[in-house]
């Protein structure tokens, strides 16, 4: 009998996380920890600036699963520690371990078999039209929205060193030509896709290779500029 382990990366559940008002878990180190009151919930301790001032975020596992601290993911209850087991960091009173009811033997999981459900985190820019768009918290990054058939796809780019993305001109300019008052959101940036690094010598050709003013069908389409033949 095969058993499937449901693996849900805690970073994906950030979409559904919320800060708990009032009493919160006390963090002593960074990481993911089971909620001591409810094993279907867990919390993440994040030290964004490395000074021991932890931010606490709480999450809920999908229905039918509990948080397994041994692998830091939501897991099936029979594969995780019992819900009445004390969470990491607490010292339980010495007590005999209650016998666990016999369960069917669990077949070994072969890594090459597609039995594990893996959900990839996705924090891309939500495109509403083709074009170049500024990053919310990093002046050196920007988004390219281009239309692929009927779907708008987003790609993250990074200006060369010494350049910043100008929100009005919509291209990378020298740092002294751009006023930047944004503060990088390191938590969000760490969950975004790796940006495509632009080279200084390719800037002019890159930004001139797209035209967002020609319309095909229902709306404007990002069309690579072919140049002179």
Q: How far apart are CA 168 and CA 133, in angstroms?
A: 9
Please give the average per-residue pLDDT across 130-154, as a whole number. Answer: 90
- Class of residue 85 by CB neighbours under 10 A (exposed 0-12, middle 13-18, buried 19+): middle
Please give the average per-residue pLDDT across 158-185, as a whole number. Answer: 93
Q: How far apart are CA 99 and CA 5, in angstroms?
A: 24
Q: Where are the domains of the chain?
A: 1-120, 131-224
Residue 202 has pLDDT above 60, yes or no: yes
pLDDT the model gives residue 150: 78
pLDDT band per the 50, 70, 90 thresholds, residue 72: confident
pLDDT the model gives residue 128: 87
Closest to 138 measured CA to CA, from 113, 157, 110: 157
Tokens of 177: 């030509």
Give me the DSSP letters along 104-148.
PPPPPPPTTSTTSEEE--------SSSEEEE-SS-TTEEEEEEEE
End-to-end CA distance of the chain: 64
Please give the average per-residue pLDDT across 179-208, as a whole number. Answer: 89
Average pLDDT of the residues of the chain: 74
Residue 10 has pLDDT above 90, yes or no: no
Of all residues in the chain, the percent with pLDDT exceeding 90 is 26
List Cβ<8 Å contacts ≥24 apart for 163-167.
163/200, 163/203, 164/139, 164/140, 165/132, 165/134, 165/135, 165/139, 165/140, 165/141, 167/134
Lowest mean pLDDT among 31-40, 57-66, 119-128, 185-194: 119-128
Residue 30 has pLDDT above 50, yes or no: yes
Residue 121 has pLDDT above 70, yes or no: no
Would you call 173 helix, strand, or coil by DSSP?
Answer: strand
Residue 168 has pLDDT above 80, yes or no: yes
Residue 179 has pLDDT above 80, yes or no: yes
Residue 95 has pLDDT above 90, yes or no: no
Please give the average per-residue pLDDT across 17-38, as a whole number. Answer: 71
Angle subtended at Cα 71 by Cα 67 and Cα 73, rounded to the nearest 5 degrees: 40
pLDDT band per the 50, 70, 90 thresholds, residue 15: very low
């Amino acid at each position: 009998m095969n058993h499937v382990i449901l693996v849900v990366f805690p970073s994906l559940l950030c979409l559904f996380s919320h800060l708990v008002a009032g009493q919160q878990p006390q963090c002593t180190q960074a990481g993911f920890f089971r909620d001591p009151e409810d094993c279907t919930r867990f919390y993440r301790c994040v030290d964004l600036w490395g000074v021991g001032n932890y931010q606490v975020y709480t999450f809920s596992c999908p229905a039918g699963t509990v948080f397994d601290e041994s692998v830091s993911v939501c897991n099936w209850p029979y594969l995780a520690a019992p819900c009445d087991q004390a969470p990491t960091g607490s010292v339980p009173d010495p007590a005999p371990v209650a016998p666990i009811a016999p369960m069917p033997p669990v077949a070994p999981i072969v890594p090459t078999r597609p039995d594990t459900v893996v959900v990839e985190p996705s924090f891309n820019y939500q495109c509403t039209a083709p074009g170049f768009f500024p990053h919310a918290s990093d002046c050196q990054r920007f988004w390219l929205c281009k239309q692929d058939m009927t779907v708008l796809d987003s790609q993250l780019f990074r200006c060369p060193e010494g350049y910043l993305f100008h929100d009005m001109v919509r291209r990378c300019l020298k740092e002294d030509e751009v006023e930047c008052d944004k503060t990088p959101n390191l938590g969000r940036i760490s969950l975004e896709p790796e940006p495509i690094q632009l080279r200084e010598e390719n800037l002019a050709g890159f930004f001139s290779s797209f035209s967002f003013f020609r319309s095909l069908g229902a709306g404007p389409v990002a069309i690579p500029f072919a140049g002179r033949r």
